Amino acid sequence: MLLFNTAVADVFYKQATTCPHCQSKHFSLINNSKLLRFTILPVAPLSISYQRQCDDCGHITDVPWYSLPVLEIISFIKYFIGLLVISYLLTTFILSSQRQSENEIHYLDTPKQFDTYFVLSEQFTGHPKRVNNLKVAQLIEFDDNTMTFRVGNYTYKYNKDIEIAMRTSMLVQDNYFASKTITLTKQQVHNFYRDNIIYKILRPELYSLFGGFVMHPPKPKPLYTGVKLDKNNQQGITYFKDGLYKEAIESFTLSAEAGYSWGQLNLAQMYRDGQGIPQDTAKAAYWLNKAAQQSNPKAKIELAELCQSIDCTYLE
């Protein structure tokens, strides 16, 4: 079937009247109008022609369009369905283009990190390209006067290829962007946009464009924000459980000297109990006091108990 073709239109209002030749009641309205159609969709009328024909005697009379029944005249809108659809699509496209241009001007005036630019590679980067001359540039830093971009290592021939790269999250793959950046003044960027060297600007929504990621989403904050474990203290606990007191002392000392209160507590306990080291209650009280000053609850209790049997006034 041809995309564009002609066809005879149908009659919307088919009420019969009396034939003036034979008085038959089967004097029906016939529509001989020709329509230009796109497949089966009417686009526009090529001619509007109506007749009345008697089904019994065959008598035919031409009918001017203005003398047609009102309902049939109203039905003329069916001839222009295609034009209405084309007008709607064209208007939508124009408004969309205007909206895109307004957005791009807004993005230029109020830049944000990871704004994504479609650029002509040869003019934007200064590196000549013979065939594939389209690249993606992404804004990574800016201030009142300058804008710094990272530019993709890949070149494209058509916009659809760039969109495919975005749909498949290529922009977040390793080595998609060159490590070397390009810094331009804001005036240079505006000039590039005016000269169509930058010919499209997009702002990611929810870290994506065309359904694919173009920037890495931020890592979620850890659910646990309580006490952070010290690796030396943890290693000391492992040594202690295995009966390796000398090694435990060394690990707890590293933790305590780094200011970790639980490492100070554990070191103090080993000095107090003489485990893996000669008993030294003075050093035990010293490290318990250090831990208590950091509001370690267990250190406070054990320091108070220890000070009942030794003089702790020097700690004050």
User: What pLDDT, on a 0 to 100 scale, did the predictor assign at position 7?
Assistant: 47
Residue 2: band (very low, low, confident or very high) from pLDDT cuts 50, 70, 90: very low
Q: Is pLDDT above 80 for 220?
A: no
Last residue of one domain, picked from the residues 83, 99, 121 = 83
Residue 100 lies in a domain: no
Over residues 265-298, the pLDDT tens digits come to 999 999 999 998 999 999 999 999 999 999 999 9
Q: Does residue 148 contact residue 229 with C-beta atoms inside 8 Å?
A: no
Question: Would you call 299 helix, strand, or coil by DSSP?
Answer: helix
Task: Say if residue 296 is in the same domain as residue 260.
Answer: yes
| Pair (70, 40) in one structural domain | yes
81 to 43, 49, 76, 87, 158: CA distances (angstroms): 6, 19, 10, 10, 33
- For residue 8, give the nearest of 62, 72, 79 by alpha carbon: 79
Would you say residue 223 lies in a domain?
no
Of 316 and 209, the structure prediction assigns the larger pLDDT to: 209
Domain boundary pick from 179, 213, 247: 213
Token duo for residue 219:
């890592």
Q: Which domain holds residue 165?
A: 111-213
Per-residue b or e along 142-179, where b marks 16 or more CB atoms closer than 10 Å to that residue's CB: beeeebebbbbebbbeeeeebbebbeeebbbeeebbee
pLDDT of residue 204: 94
Residue 67, CA distances (Å) to 72, 79, 86, 299 in order: 10, 18, 30, 106
118 lies in the same domain as 192 = yes
| pLDDT bucket at 128, cuts 50 / 70 / 90 | confident
Give me the residue label for tokens 């000053």.
293
Give domain status of residue 104, yes or no. Answer: no
Alpha carbon distance 261, 97 (integer Å): 63
How many domains is the chain partitioned into structurally?
A: 3
- Residue 4's pLDDT is 47
- Same-domain status, 242 and 301: yes
The answer on 201 and 269 residing in a single domain is no
For residues 64-83, average pLDDT: 85
Q: What is the mean pLDDT of the chain?
A: 87
- Asked, for residue 225, whether it belongs to a domain, the answer is no
CATH number, domain of 291, equals: 1.25.40.10
94, part of any domain: no
Query: Is 226 inside any structural domain?
Result: no
Please give the pLDDT value at position 45: 84
Which among 8, 13, 23 is positioned nearest to 55, based on CA atoms? 23
Q: Name the band, by pLDDT with cuts 50, 70 and 90, for residue 171.
A: very high
Q: Are residue 133 and residue 197 in the same domain, yes or no?
A: yes
Segment (H or E) for 131? none
Q: Would residue 103 count as lying in a domain?
A: no
In a domain, 155, yes or no: yes
Boundary (domain end) residue, out of 213, 242, 277? 213
Q: Could you read off the pLDDT of 224-241 as tens digits, one per residue?
A: 556 678 999 999 999 999
Q: Which amino acid belongs to residue 260?
A: Y
69 with 152, same domain: the answer is no
**Same domain, yes or no: 65 and 145:** no
Tokens, residue 67: 């003398």
Same domain, residue pair 115 and 208: yes
